[in-house]
Amino acid sequence: MELKKSLLLIVCLLVSLAGLAFIYFSISKISPSELKIGDVDSNLSGQAISVTGKITYVRTHSAGHVFLTLSDGDSEIEVPVFSSVMNQLKSDGITQYEFRKGKTLRVTGIVGEYKGQLQIVPRKASDVQFLNSLR
Query: Residue 67, class by beta-carbon neighbours within 10 Å (0-12 exposed, 13-18 middle, 19+ buried)?
Result: middle
DSSP state of 30: -
Give the separation between CA 85 and CA 128, rounded to whole angstroms. 9
What per-residue confidence (pLDDT) applies to 133?
A: 64
Q: Hey, is 95 helix, strand or coil?
A: coil
Question: What residues does each domain of the chain span?
Answer: 1-30, 33-130
pLDDT in tens, 44-80: 999 999 999 999 999 999 999 999 999 999 999 999 9
What per-residue confidence (pLDDT) applies to 30?
A: 67
Model confidence band, residue 28 (pLDDT cutoffs 50, 70, 90): low
Give the separation between CA 30 and CA 39, rounded to whole angstroms. 20
Q: Which CATH number fits domain 33-130: 3.90.100.10, 3.40.50.2300, 2.40.50.140, 2.60.120.680?
A: 2.40.50.140
pTM of the model: 0.76
